[in-house]
Amino acid sequence: MAGDASEQANVRRAIEADLEAINRIYNDEVLTNVASWDFEAWNMAQRRQWFAEHQRDETTPVFVADVGGEVAGMSYLSSYRPRPGYRYTRENTVYVDPRFHRRGIGAQLLGVLVEEAGRVGLRSVIAVIEGSNDASVALHERFGYEQVGLLHDVGHKFGGWLDSVYMELRLPGPEGGLDPAAERD
């Protein structure tokens, strides 16, 4: 049994040894929930490739919440869009093992992401949340995210149509302003 509600997680950067737990948590969402709109569980080769891609870019970190030596959740930043004009924007993702829900672990994981996004000089962090996930919307609001959009019936899983709530956290952005040499019209 997972620990009690008073436990605090140690949130740290993920390492290779965490990938099986990360994959287990993600695959549970894929197979039983609508937080992920994937239909098939990921294999470990896919997870290792995903992790390597995140490791190559300091603006796409992966964190885990460790409770008593067990990975209880994960969070990460991903590229929002591939075009260079979006280079100061990332999308956040947070998943918590169901055995550890309602213990504040999601808040710890999101808090670390927000801090890291500011540290690396991002301007905007986007959260795309399944429309019925009121707890995730409320969590993001606690960290200053604002709802900026709602897309109706854009996903379909488990025989039902799903909405996407778009939330945005605006940050100061890169220190010293933008590099004019990097801007091209």
Each of the 185 residues of the chain gets a pLDDT tens digit; together they read 344 444 689 999 999 999 999 999 999 999 999 999 999 999 999 999 999 999 999 999 999 999 999 999 999 999 999 999 999 999 999 999 999 999 999 999 999 999 999 999 999 999 999 999 999 999 999 999 999 999 999 999 999 999 999 999 999 988 655 555 555 54
Domain assignment of residue 24, yes or no: yes
According to DSSP, residue 41 is labeled P
Domain assignment of residue 155, yes or no: no
Domain assignment of residue 148, yes or no: no
Report how far apart, in Å, the C-alpha atoms of 21 and of each of 17, 131, 146 are.
8, 26, 31
The residues facing 155 across adjacent strands are: 162
Domain assignment of residue 146, yes or no: no
Torsions phi, psi for 117 (to 5 deg): -60, -40
The residues facing 127 across adjacent strands are: 167
| Domains in the chain, number | 1
Domain limits for position 23 = 11-126
Domain assignment of residue 167, yes or no: no
Domain assignment of residue 149, yes or no: no
Domain assignment of residue 6, yes or no: no
What tokens were used for 38? 């994937």
Specify the CATH number for the domain of residue 36.
Answer: 3.40.630.30
Domain assignment of residue 83, yes or no: yes
The residue length of the chain stands at 185
